[in-house]
Amino acid sequence: MLRSDVDRTKISPMMLQYLEIKEKYEDTIIFFRLGDFYEMFFEDALLASRELELTLTGKNCGLEERVPMCGIPYHAYKSYLDKLIDKGYKVAICEQLTDPKETKGMVERDVIQVVTCGTRLDDSLNSKDYNYIGNIYDFEYCYGVSFIDVSTGYTYGVILDYDKDSLLKEILTYNLKEVIVNSKIDRSIVTLLREQYNILVTIRDTIYEQDDYHYLTEDISDIRIKTTIHHLISYLLETKKGSLSHLQKVELIDHKKHLLFDTHTKKNLELIETIRNRDRTYSLLWLLDKTKTAMGGRLLKSNIENPLTDVQEINRRYDIIEILLTEFILKDELREELDKVYDLERLCSRISYGNSNARDMIQLKNSLIALPNIKRILEEIHYDKKIEVFDDLVELLEKAINLDSPIGLHEGGLIKEGYNSELDELKNIRKNSKDFILELENEEKERTGIKNLKVGFNKVFGYYIEVSKGNIKDIKDEYGWIRKQTLTNAERYITPLLKEKEDIILGAEEKIINLEYKLFTDVREIAKGYVSRIQKVSKVIAEVDMLLSFALVSEENNYIRPILTDEHMIKIVEGRHPVVEKVNKKEYVANDIIMGNDTDILLITGPNMAGKSTYMRQLAITVIMAQIGCFVPCKSCIIPIFDQIFTRIGASDDLVSGDSTFMVEMKEANIAISHATMNSLILFDELGRGTATYDGMSLAQAILEYIHDKIKAKTLFSTHYHELTTLANQLSHLKNVHVSAIEEEGKITFLHKVKNGAIDKSYGIHVAALAQLPKDLIERADEILGVYEHKSIKQETFTQTSLFLDIDSPKNVEQDKVYEKLEEINPLEITPMDALNILYELKQEIKKGTH
């Protein structure tokens, strides 16, 4: 049965209430509170029963047919909620707003919050990753994009050109979990986000127009940013239905402040996770993360994904690392203190929103207790940012919150004795009454002689006296007991005195729970007033933790401080790939990467498995480490600041779009040559291999020439097209290097050492032998190779007839004279002696041209 089939004139009032609420939340699954269960009905029940593997039942609601229904216990709803959110659904929590015991007629119900993957505030979030929800506002000539981590309060905004590729890159760069769009947006973008990238997308146009959150954008003049932010705030307020006062002022994204690279580069370099297992282990993040706090871990990940271009800030970080490495005792002490700090950012968010419990407050108190020592250490190392301490808040939390508090807020046990006199008095009443119950039990045992008699309690009957069946005969009328319940093996009784004490105890219990809850929320409200100040401290703690992690990793792995230069040059001596070095059990072979002002391209040749890709990746990773402010793995390092990194490493098809390996190669090459500048870094690994040999070789040469003549970016280009190595004769800023290997008695040994010059052999058959292909197959391949080589099918290497002429290059007049004289000579009309004289004169002309 579907909701659309229901005759509303016949259904029960409760089901009518459900339908009215459901109409407001069509795109969500509603957890509808009925007593001790959250129930789901109609289509929600069919969906939830399948996704959560629940038993589908039915409910009578005045119709001939039972309504589909399934349910979950309200006290254990969390795991079911997480499953649905992880599967991409929205869930609306519909609670009973009035007490059924005190309500005549229908219990009032309404949605108290909508939970989505982008609006979570609970412990299900990855503690060392941000959880962004964002929006796209289509202005029909540009895009406004903003994104917020509701769990930490960080808020960002940017205006993008009206270009789909740039828009998609922005969404993927920040790994948005959920996106809100206005109705003007191209529906193909919505489809792409939903189907290819599995992002939850909601279309809505409402813009928040009140003043409660004006502080977010008060420093921003661009009305487009304000509109974009208020569009997202509107959705958050409608879903969270609580205070979002912890949201921090909007930070405008300035791409010029960061080293840019796309998701392909992040994946190829294995910055956050490995390609093979998509696992954090053995990524750059895994190597660098020695952070003690969740805030530091999140900041580290964000920096790896968004390195800096500000030389002054990068050098500031280097200075701090040097101090930490020198002050090793203070460094160790600081690390111990940071270990005491919980996730202050997310604690602040829960306090502001109003869903923090007593254990959150204890974690807040313990974190704040560590601040004075952290402040002292930072002052001793002359750290340039100050942190505030909160002794008054610590004192309040110490006095008020019970260390053994339960997770729930309606169970009592939240507030310490001595904090509130009224509460203490109620607890005394409860204690004395419970002592009376124990005394009553002992007295009744003495009076009746029934030794196994006991006084118990349950929520249905309250307090009772329980006697086993075998002792019922000993009960006399004069005891004044009244039979209340018969069990299989016992009888339960009550007495007027017991009921009188029960009323006192339960009355005190209820008052205690209500008063404790009120006192706790009062304390939480006081703590809420400190949130913005604690958030500022959290940012400093996060940075300190990240830089301390850099210092530890640098010390452990013998990394050195890079020198950042304004010159267009790279000079890395004995560079290493930090992750490969850490994981590799063999001794790592370090390599230099030298590219002076006169060298823009290194053309790398060498056999497969020799280490070409590792050599290329280690340069990019060294650059990224340097530009996040970390020391780098080499003996010495002089590098410029790069603005972008482009990579094409590894072969892969794009199965979703249907693109072949070669098409993917060409698209990624196009992105590089379209967007790279002189200050970019380009890494192309065997570009052109996805098509026929001469097609691939031609394209590879044309791309090399274009980069050389037009872009002039620092480029590492590995290839098996050995014919390309002759380009060094025509392209003055291209240099050949090769990864060496030794062939002895038909066997190959990889030396992993990069040397100057080119090689003209790929050793492909030797690598196949190492892969243990059948011996007769290897021998046959060797025979075929010999045939090809003796047929001399290799054609002459293409000479450069490049259209990408460097107009800045000076014309060589003497060289032109040589060419003119050669054009005038007819070899058939001159004697050998004349030829020798002419040759001598030409050589003299050439010498003039080279000086």
Output the DSSP codes for 391-402.
HHHHHHHHHHB-
Over residues 114-161, the pLDDT tens digits come to 999 999 988 888 899 999 999 999 999 999 999 999 999 999 999 999
Closest CA to 698 of 793, 614, 795, 626: 795
CA 407 – CA 404 distance, rounded (Å): 9
Q: Give the per-residue pLDDT at 732.
A: 94
Task: Give the rounded distance of the alpha carbon of 353 from its chain centre.
Answer: 23
Q: Who wins on pLDDT, 201 or 810?
A: 201
Return the pLDDT at 761: 61
Closest CA to 456 of 441, 445, 476: 441
pLDDT over 90 at 610, yes or no: no
The residue among 835 and 456 whose pLDDT is bigger is 456
Q: What angle do CA 561, 562, 563 make, to 5 degrees?
A: 120
CB neighbours of 139 closer than 8 A, spacing ≥ 6?
224
- Cα angle value 803/807/808 (rounded, 5°): 140
Tell me: pLDDT of 623 over 90. Answer: yes
| Banded pLDDT at 802 (limits 50, 70, 90) | very low
* Residues with Cβ within 8 Å of residue 573, at least 6 apart in sequence: 592, 634, 635, 636, 637
Q: Count of CB atoms within 10 A of residue 745's CB?
A: 4
The average pLDDT across 453-459 equals: 86
* Residue 513, SS3 per DSSP: helix
Out of 14-23, 369-378, 685-694, 747-756, least confident range = 685-694
Query: Average pLDDT for residues 60-68, to the nearest whole number?
Result: 87
Sequence-ordered list of residues with C-beta below 8 angstroms from that of 334, at least 6 positions apart, any chain: 324, 374, 377, 378, 544, 548
**Position with higher pLDDT, 762 vs 622:** 622
Helices 358-369 and 344-353, interaxial angle, to 10°?
Answer: 140
Residue 454 to residue 446: CA distance in whole angstroms: 12
Task: Report the amino acid identity of residue 228.
Answer: T
For 452, the 3-state DSSP assignment is coil
Q: Any alpha helices (H) in 633-692, and if so which ranges?
A: 661-675
Given a contact cutoff of 8 angstroms between Cβ atoms, the answer to whether 523 and 427 are in contact is no
- pLDDT of residue 660 exceeding 70: no
C-alpha 621/C-alpha 271 separation (Å) is 8
Tell me whether residue 685 is exposed, middle or buried, using C-beta atoms within 10 angstroms of its C-beta: 0 to 12, 13 to 18, 19 or more.
buried
Query: Residue range 587-616: average pLDDT?
Result: 90
Neighbouring CB atoms inside 10 A of 620's CB total 24
**CA–CA separation, 691 vs 515, rounded Å?**
76
Question: Which residue shows structure tokens 């800096």?
Answer: 308
At a CB cut-off of 8 Å and minimum separation 6, what does 817 contact? 845
Least confident among 358-367, 546-555, 680-689: 680-689
CA atoms of 449 and 445, how far apart (whole Å): 5
Give the model's confidence band at 850: pLDDT under 50 very low, under 70 low, under 90 confident, else very high: low
Q: CA 453, CA 465: separation in Å to the nearest integer?
A: 7
Q: Which of 135, 111, 279, 101 is nearest to 206 (CA)?
A: 135
Q: Could you give the 3-state DSSP secondary structure of residue 357? A: coil
C-alpha 493 chain-centroid distance: 61
Do the strands 714-718 and 591-595 form a parallel or antiparallel pair, or are they unpaired?
Answer: unpaired
User: Which pLDDT band, with edges at 50, 70 and 90, does 411 fall under?
Assistant: confident
For the segment 327-373, what is each residue's pLDDT rounded down to a tens digit? 999 999 999 999 999 999 999 999 999 999 999 999 999 999 999 99
Query: What is the distance, to the nearest Å, from the Cα of residue 717 to the centroid of all Cα atoms in its chain?
Result: 31
- Inter-residue contact 663 to 653 (CB < 8 Å): no
What DSSP line would sit under 197-233, residue for residue? T--EEEE------SSTTGGGGTT---HHHHHHHHHHH
Please give the radius of gyration of the chain, using alpha carbons only, rounded to the nearest integer: 37
What's the pLDDT band for 795 if we cut at 50, 70, 90?
very low
Q: What type of residue sits at position 184? A: K
pLDDT band at 101 (very low <50, low <70, confident <90, very high): confident
In which region does residue 848 sit, left (phi positive, over 0), alpha (psi from -120 to 50) or beta (all else)?
A: alpha
DSSP helix/strand/coil, 326: helix
Per-residue confidence (pLDDT) for residue 814, from 0 to 100: 56
Query: Residues 549, 331: contact at Cβ < 8 Å?
Result: no
Residue 34, number of CB atoms within 10 A of its CB: 18
Residue type (1 letter), 333: E
The 3-state DSSP class for residue 685 equals strand
Q: Is the pLDDT of residue 801 over 70?
A: no
Cβ(640)–Cβ(567) under 8 Å? yes
3-state secondary structure of 418: coil
- Read off the pLDDT of each residue in 398-415 and give the average, rounded to a whole number: 92
pLDDT confidence of residue 807? 43
Tokens of 79: 């795991």
Residue 38's beta-bridge partner residues? Answer: 33, 72
Positive or negative, the CA dihedral 802, 803, 804, 808 is positive
Strand ranges across the sheet with 591-595:
563-564, 636-639, 570-575, 591-595
Rounded to whole angstroms, how far apart are CA atoms 766 and 782?
9
- Residue 199: name the closest of 225, 224, 180 by CA: 180
CA pair distance 199, 194, nearest whole angstrom: 5
CB-based contacts of 180, cutoff 8 Å, min separation 6: 133, 134, 135, 136, 201, 202, 203, 204, 231, 232, 235
829 vs 42, higher pLDDT: 42
CB–CB of 248/176 below 8 Å? no
Tell me the pLDDT tens digit for each residue of 722-768.
888 999 999 999 999 998 877 665 566 667 789 998 876 666 655 66
DSSP state of 797: P
**DSSP state, residue 709:** I
601 or 456: which leads in pLDDT? 601
**Cα–Cα distance for residue pair 358/403, rounded to 1 Å:** 8
Evaluate whether 151 touches 345 at the Cβ level (below 8 Å).
yes
Partners of 737 in the β-ladder: 604, 756
H helices of 676-812, in order, are 693-706, 764-770, 775-790
Interatomic CA distance for residues 800 and 512, integer angstroms: 89
- The b-or-e profile of 814-839 (16+ CB within 10 A means b, else e) is eeeebeeeeeeeeeeeeeeeeeeebe
Give the H/E segment covering residue 574: strand 570-575
N- to C-terminal Cα separation, the chain: 92
